[in-house]
Structure 1
Amino acid sequence: MAVTAMAVTTMGFAASPAAAAPAATTAPRLGDTCTAADLGTRHPVIKSTEVTPTITHFKGWYVTDGSTGSQTVDTSVQDTISVSVGVNGNIQGNFQVEALGMVGGMLGLNVQVNYTHTSTTNKSISWDFRKPGYYGLYEGTKKVTGTYGSLNCNRSDAGGLKWVEGPDTGSYTTYTTLEEGAVRCEDKVPANSIMAKAQGLLDCGSPAATAQHPAGPVPSAKADQAKHDTAAADEAGQSTKATQAAKPAALAALNCQPGAYRIDVPGRVLNWSAPLLANDGIRLRESTFFSAHLDNWRLCNVTENNGVIEASLWNWGNGGCATIPANIANQEQAYLTTANCGEDDLQRFYIYRDVPGSSKIGLQNKYTGSMLGYDRYADGELIRQYSSGRQDGTGTFALTQV
């Protein structure tokens, strides 16, 4: 490419289609009315955003009078960015895509709305150097991070059902189209730009930047330090995760309310029934004399905040608590099952209620943020999690006392 030192080029991603500006969302607004069919759904609300120019690959390169022209330079990895929303790193559900689309719309940026990550390996950049000098060759992007919450349908103190801000929150990370470029110390570049970030890695005040030097790579103290800092942060993060993983889960003594309930489909005969076999899930079943209380649930360790109940769901039949299995918790449509009760947010659920006098509810897992529902109304159908819930009303259940 025949370019000057100030030129840049943008690149699409090999891992996913080029990002596009998201279409305007039709998500409800806080305080809008909702219906009982919305009890099992949720929509994102973006609470904060931050845009940071980030260099993913870099190399300091010295060009002499006799070495101008096209060259291919091997750059080193500086930072790796992965797209994520909450615990769902794969961006499998509608909620994650909708959240990232909102972020792009708010900022006016073309951000990645599907799971991808920047290259984790060194890469070569071909460049046409027309002038001698001390260059920084780079690939970079704008890293976009922030926090989100959710809008859920729940009974309102003012009467009726309203979209309220639910208790679940999380963080997201995405990034814009990759940009390749070359920059010199003497170039005037826009402040807070990707190019300015790369220029900062050149360490322009160092003797290496001003001294005569053979054509080729020039050590950059700032680039080396940035790489060292990234490696140290990764090592510290892995150490923290290992320490956390080593901690045993503490069992909790459940304080359960006296009443027992069925969690059933309103107006129909099937309801949640705990699994009889290991490695099976909670399924829709008909309540019969032979159910052996597998279809009876108690609300335990109950709290309430701003009208939203939080509780563990203890099964009378097998003595376990409803949970999303940890090994598949980040998956869309992961199934619900039971396990030994403990202090675990995978076993905690938010309960959204219809107006007083109605038993209709929606349920949301505290850890994943996903709503509970089922694919179709059929005997033996698994109860699963859906990031945005089920828009057809199949995430609305009834809490019926027995």
Structure 2
Amino acid sequence: MSAFSKLARRYADGNLIVQILIGIILGAIVGFWGHSQLGAGGESANFANSILNTISILGNLFVGALKAVAPILVFVLVATSIITKEFGETKGMGKIVFLYLLATFLAAVVAVCASFMFPVELVLKGVETTQLSAPQNVIDVLKDLIFKIVQNPVVAISTGNYIGIIAWAVGAGIALRSCSKETKNVFKDVSEGITKIVKFVIRLAPFGIFGLVAISIHETGFDALAGYLKLILVLVGSMLLVAFGVNPLIAFIITKKNPYPLIMTTIKESAVTAFFTRSSAANIPVNMALCKKLGLKEELYSISIPLGATINMAGAAVTISVLALAAVNSLDHITVDFADALLLSFISAIGACGASGVAGGSLLLVPLACALFGISDDIAMQVVAVGFIIGVIQDSVETALNSSSDVVFTAIASETIK
């Protein structure tokens, strides 16, 4: 095995979180160096610009790869989920699915409210030259939504029309639910193949983030970092409010009991593990063991926990909503009223249910929400890239919320079943 092969293998087997942190630190160092050279002028500034422009290619390639794979990923994941998902006939499953969807929607509402209270603006390229026909009211949004829904599916995928993509994916999924087992296996295989491609792209995130951080700080100095910090605070704050406010409130309304012993147990024994694994799917065995420890009905949690790992995505709904509104705030000429915000909450919740199970999977659905406001795919994918930069924190907290909520709502439904 050559030295290059050994190095590539060590990189592939390395901890992605650590690698991204290294990329952020190195990008910040190079970016601040380049920014400091701008004041010197002359050859020093030209040399720094040349170096940073070359490094920025890494970021552009990463964003381009995300932009290319995201439309196909959304279509395949949503269609496959509908075609292959078996919700079962177990008593209480209907209540659990309702709680999953309700909590995801309420999480999106919390995120939208937080974004209105603490608006975040990001430093994005091409914003000054972007010409958008910004919707002025919900009627315009709905009209645009309807026309995007009926767009040719091939055109929708090639142009990144995520509204059309998800509409055709849902339609195809419903139409093919009665297809043969062999056909369903084909869709599963295709979904797994696309997911592997996404995983490969995400494995390259440290290089892309290095380039993105370096060029952002080179051009804006501390402005970019300030935007990232505020974005993290809004995201994490919203998720904590859902975990310790919305979920306990739902539990109290249904069970009429103090919900915090259950909440704290799930945080300690499920959320902590999910925080470090950053995968709801990987946390399924942990949640199953916790449900058994809590004495829940096995016939219920054996279905609800795996199902929750794919459709109970409150954290993803928060991420999609906050990042979409950050994109809106970065474009001065777009205004969002209450009705638009409500529609965004609904779209974010639906999109979150189709989020990929890989780390950072929810970020690839941000363009779906951005499309509501006519934001171009180029701008939306820059926001996705920012999401990967802060993903070391955002994705860990998101997964912790998603996974621990599965046990919370399974416990609530199990307790209310006679």
Per the normalisation by structure 1, the TM-score is 0.21
Q: Tell me which structure has the larger Cα radius of gyration.
A: 1
Greater strand share, 1 or 2?
Answer: 1
Greater helix share, 1 or 2?
Answer: 2
Per the normalisation by structure 2, the TM-score is 0.20
* Higher-RCO chain (CA-CA 8 Å, sequence separation at least 6): 2
